[in-house]
Amino acid sequence: MVIRRLLEQMGNEVIAPLRPSQRTLDLGVRYSPEFACLPYKLVTGTYIESLERGADTILTSGGVGPCRAGLYAPMHEAILKDLGYDFEIIIIEPPSRGIGDIYRKLQKLNADKLSWLALLGLVREGWAKVKALDDLERLSHYVRPREIEKRSTTRVYQKTLSWMAEANSIKEIKEAHEAGVAALKGIPQDPERDILKIGIVGEIYVVLEPSANLELEEILGELGAEVDRSIFLTGWTMDNAVADAMRLTGGRSVKRAAKEYLPEMIGGHGQDSIGHTIIYAKDGFDGVIQLSPFTCIPEIVAMSILPKVSKDYDIPVLSIVLDEQTGKAGLTTRVEAFVDLLYRRRRQRLEAGI
Ligand code: SF4
């Protein structure tokens, strides 16, 4: 919703991508290479649906590092043009590839020729909204396992998102955020409940996109686990845009934590999955879930190291591989078993006085 508003204010007609559905995935699977990772397939399907709805330009991000993300855009362009779609693709590369390139592309998108001051104002507004959205989501993670009426948090949280979508100035964003916080805090909760703390690590797309991880955060919350997601948009932007532009290493403490096990950046979030798991263990979390798209090389590497981390730091880790065959019932069963194990482990440790 933030990028949409920014582009609209610059004078573009925006066709925002729909929430990925089974049709999106079916289209993606049909028109992607068989061994492409799940995010690639979902993005293929999303592009096709957007082009069917009239889009003539695709705006996407590029990528660096030794994983396939940097090749996504040229591959999508070639495949979709081969299918007969007529469109232009604008790829925003990370700032370390050159600020000049970003400047030229922004000029192209700035159809109404807004001044740099006006653009800066819109970016400030967008950043305020992203921060408020992340904050509301974090609060929903806290409230959900404590809710008395099942699904009340999810209902209220959806409402807060619609308030945020309608907020179009810093003042309105502040008001919508405050109303959202009050609504979430107002949900009747059981303060005595025995709550587990589970960290979620893994590849960014499947960690952030609920339709790709089959609403894992809701499943866990409703089973009585407070979720801490290792990736939020605000943190990701600071690490990958701001720190990158200033030639700093984003997420330094995470990379330092992972160093003993994986000293190299291997693309995607493989190194971060290790570092975050160690930090969660040190912070006393009950367990960690790693989300990995099928065939994702960085997460496969992390998956081969995580058993050692789990043993060394005495923290249970469940690795879940997601692809087009993954169903919600099967995922829920695995997660229920993991949550049972964590409760049993907590009881045993309490009895043993650990
Ligand atoms: S990190 Fe993994 S899932 Fe993401 S683009 Fe790279 S290989 Fe694909």
Say what the pTM is: 0.90
pLDDT at 113: 92
Side-chain half-sphere CA neighbours of 290 within 13 A: 31
pLDDT tens sequence across 101-124: 888 888 889 999 999 899 999 999
Q: Distance between CA 181 and CA 263 in Å, rounded?
A: 40
Of these ranges, 21-30, 86-95, 231-240, the one predicted with the greatest mean pLDDT is: 21-30
268: confidence class by pLDDT, cuts 50, 70, 90: confident
Better-predicted residue by pLDDT, 249 or 324: 324
pLDDT at 242: 53
Strands (DSSP E) contained in the chain are 57-61, 88-92, 196-202, 225-229, 287-293, 317-322
265: confidence class by pLDDT, cuts 50, 70, 90: confident
CA-closest candidate to residue 292, choices 222, 200, 229, 221: 200
Instruction: Tell how far the Cα of 267 is from the centroid of ligand 1, in angstroms.
Output: 8
Report the percent of the chain where pLDDT is more than 70.
Answer: 94
CA distances from 220 to 11, 186, 194, 214, 328 (A): 41, 21, 14, 11, 13
266: confidence class by pLDDT, cuts 50, 70, 90: confident
pLDDT tens sequence across 31-55: 999 889 999 999 999 999 999 999 9
Give nearest CA residue, ligand 1 atom 3: 296
pLDDT at 232 over 70: yes
pLDDT at 241: 57
Return the DSSP state at 197.
E
- Determine the residue of 32, 35, 40, 231 to mutate for testing ligand 1's pocket, defined as the one with the most ligand atoms within 8 A of the Cβ atom: 40
Give the atom of ligand 1 at the shortest distance from the alpha carbon of 297. Answer: 7
CA distances from 287 to 125, 218, 335, 340 (A): 36, 17, 11, 11
Contacts of 166 (CB under 8 A, 6+ apart): 172, 176
pLDDT at 248 over 50: no
Give nearest CA residue, ligand 1 atom 1: 268
pLDDT tens sequence across 283-342: 999 999 999 999 999 999 999 999 999 999 999 999 999 999 999 999 999 999 999 999
β-partners of residue 227 are: 198
251: confidence class by pLDDT, cuts 50, 70, 90: low
pLDDT tens sequence across 54-71: 999 999 988 766 788 888
Pocket around ligand 1: residues whose beta carbon is below 6 Å from it? Answer: 37, 39, 67-69, 203, 267-268, 293, 296-299
Side-chain half-sphere CA neighbours of 329 within 13 A: 0
Q: Which two tokens stand for residue 26?
A: 């079916």
Name the one residue in this structure whose structure tokens are 């160690």.
278
Q: Distance between CA 164 and CA 56 in Å, rounded?
A: 28
Let me know: does 72 contact 44? Beta carbons within 8 Å. Answer: no
Instruction: Tell how far the Cα of 340 is from the centroid of ligand 1, in angstroms.
Output: 31
Q: Distance between CA 295 and CA 248 in Å, rounded?
A: 30
Give the atom of ligand 1 at the shortest distance from the alpha carbon of 69. Answer: 5
Q: Distance between CA 59 and CA 309 in Å, rounded?
A: 39
**Residue 145 DSSP SS3:** helix
Rounded average pLDDT over 242-257: 63
Give the atom of ligand 1 at the shortest distance from the alpha carbon of 36. Answer: 8
Let me know: does 193 contact 145? Beta carbons within 8 Å. Answer: yes
Let me know: does 255 contact 160? Beta carbons within 8 Å. Answer: no
Strands 225-229 and 57-61: unpaired
Instruction: Tell how far the Cα of 128 is from the centroid of ligand 1, in angstroms.
Output: 29
Let me know: does 38 contact 324? Beta carbons within 8 Å. Answer: yes
Rounded average pLDDT over 259-268: 90
Averaged pLDDT score across all residues of the chain = 91
